Structure 1
């Protein structure tokens, strides 16, 4: 331990734990309504793109997938926060581990959701041009 670690370490660990546990709970909670498809197209909440807002055939599948990923992110971030806290990791290590898990989930969600969005747009454009 470095100079002063014994004084700030418990508080820092508790802050890291609280922030990432809270983040996970909020993300998971935000994902449930999207996963259940109870959020209609709106400019405030959901995976909002022009094509998704313009067409419910795109909005609901894209936001269902977003909700799924938010729920996964919630469990992953909360679980990592709990494990890092119980493993008695140093503050810096705990912060980086938690950040890595949350960012991996976030990037995975964005990539996967955009892939679905592009696929749905292509399918919709193909069916529109065939008519």
Structure 2
């Protein structure tokens, strides 16, 4: 808004009036205000983490049942409380392994052939 006031005051002081310049300045300012109001996460940094969200957790609900006898009548009252949990999304980078293939002929050293001594059997 400071740029709009400066541009407007300089045009009025000079005696020249340019409605197209005023309109352009107004369009730019209003579009920036609309963008900032409509999508607050749109201009956020890449490390932006969403806020926790409330999620209904019925397994943690609580209930109290109270019975009492008033005179000759029985009276029952129940009080129930619903449970909610704050869940914050976990954003992390998952590194997936890349397959590597390697083809080579195995190196085998030649072994000398030696005959077994007499009386020993080689299986």
Question: Which of the pair has more CA radius of gyration?
Answer: 2
Higher relative contact order (CA closer than 8 Å, sequence separation 6+): 1
Higher helix content, 1 or 2: 1
TM-score range, shorter chain: 0.3 to 0.5
Give the TM-score normalised by structure 2: 0.32
Q: TM-score, normalized by length of structure 1? A: 0.31
